[in-house]
Amino acid sequence: MDPLALTLIELGAVVFALGLLARLAARIGMSPIPLYLIGGLVFGAGGLVDLGHVRDFAHLSGEIGVILLLLMLGLEYTARELFTGLRKSWQAGVMDLVLNFLPGAGIALLLGWGGVGALVMGGVTYISSSGIVAKVITDLGRLGNRETPTILAVLVFEDLAMAIYLPILTATLAGVSFLGGLQTVGISLVVVTVVFFVALRHGHRVSKAVHSENSEVFLLNVLGLALLVAGIASAMQVSAAVGAFMLGIAISGTTAHLASRLLEPLRDLFAAIFFVAFGLNTDPTTIPPVLGWALLLALVTAATKIATGWWAAARAGVAVPGRARAGAALIARGEFSIVIAGLAVTTGAVNSELAALATAYVLLMAIIGPLAARFVEPLVKAIRRPRGGGPREASARVPF
């Protein structure tokens, strides 16, 4: 068969299968990320069907997916929100970083993956999935809850931490010397500061530059600029994703809302392909040997996230049920853990077992996270309710 025809058929089959998986995920009320990963595992190297032809396309699309993921993340925040969030939540943020980075880094050292492996796995276990957490909060109607700002503040801190972490990771993976690494980090810090300044003072001008009443022109402007900025950032070793994130922050106001609305379907498509691409590159037979470690890591880092959320919510004066909710809401890991692992795997600087462990870990955490967030409330109630007092209390319950 003509190679182009074969590629189209394979690609069509993959994208269509993703659609079915997404529908299934929506039906059972879970995040589609684990299903996409499993899809990639099934189609990839060593899986049931090897779709070699789409790998190049999937790779590039995956890169675009990451850029769109971070661009949209930047669009969601205004520079002011990031500033106030940082000021209010840095203690919780630092605690989050320490408690959740260490288990990942520790297990990497334990398994003999060295310093680079530790840097990668620490990042994988550190960052919660903003996408899953935000969806869980809205789905469960907890936007008005008192602990919600605390959760969001921790997410804001994590996303900002990524703007520092990703350039460090990129430089390390590229094997840049210590001095070169410092230079990269220096550049990224300067860029972050400049973008903040521009976004705070001149955000409307940046927005005006890309804005257009014609949605086609607007889409091309935003997408083109995002790829350009990401490319330049990547050339400066600052990580393409961070460049896109910074561009997102600089765009503000109505332009930002409009841009996110236009880009959302594109992001969903490319991000889905990104997860598949990651799965494609992971040999499913490498997963069973690391499954035990993944489970251990899942349990430990679920506990450390709960501790983080609990502590942060307690500081905000929230009562015990709210503290538990805040902790459980943060458990989910997802897109960014895979972004980090993906960066490491494509450069080939880490052990292939790391990809397997990261995949298994994210599979677990993307499923456990939303479940924990949903069931923590009845659990806390059941534990806290004094024995014998239950039925009377239930009957005293008023509808509102």
Query: Which residues sit at the interface with other proteins, rule CB under 8 A?
Result: 76-77, 81-82, 84-85, 130, 134, 141-149, 152-153, 155-156, 257, 318-319, 321-322, 325, 377, 397-398, 400
Minimum CB distance to other proteins, residue 381 (Å) = 10
Minimum CB distance to other proteins, residue 78 (Å) = 8
Running DSSP on this structure, what letter comes out for residue 386?
Answer: P
Instruction: Please report, as a single letter, which amino acid is at residue 248.
Output: G
State which residue, 72 or 99, has the beta carbon closest to other proteins: 72
State which residue, 77 or 275, has the beta carbon closest to other proteins: 77
State which residue, 27 or 397, has the beta carbon closest to other proteins: 397
State which residue, 208 or 257, has the beta carbon closest to other proteins: 257
Label residue 288 exposed, middle or buried (CB < 10 Å: 0-12, 13-18, 19+): exposed
Alpha-carbon span 348 to 342, nearest angstrom? 10
Long-range residue pairs from 309-312, CB within 8 A, at least 24 positions apart, any chain: 309/147, 309/150, 309/151, 309/154, 311/92, 311/95, 312/89, 312/92, 312/95, 312/96, 312/150, 312/153, 312/154
Minimum CB distance to other proteins, residue 377 (Å) = 8
Minimum CB distance to other proteins, residue 241 (Å) = 18
Contacts of 343 (CB under 8 A, 6+ apart): 120, 166, 169, 170, 173, 239
State which residue, 23 or 257, has the beta carbon closest to other proteins: 257
Minimum CB distance to other proteins, residue 93 (Å) = 13
Instruction: Please report, as a single letter, which amino acid is at residue 4.
Output: L
Contacts of 375 (CB under 8 A, 6+ apart): none
State which residue, 283 or 377, has the beta carbon closest to other proteins: 377
Minimum CB distance to other proteins, residue 149 (Å) = 5
Alpha helices in the chain (DSSP H): 3-27, 33-43, 55-76, 79-110, 114-126, 130-139, 148-173, 178-210, 215-235, 240-250, 253-280, 287-315, 320-329, 335-347, 352-384, 390-395
Minimum CB distance to other proteins, residue 139 (Å) = 11
State which residue, 175 or 253, has the beta carbon closest to other proteins: 253
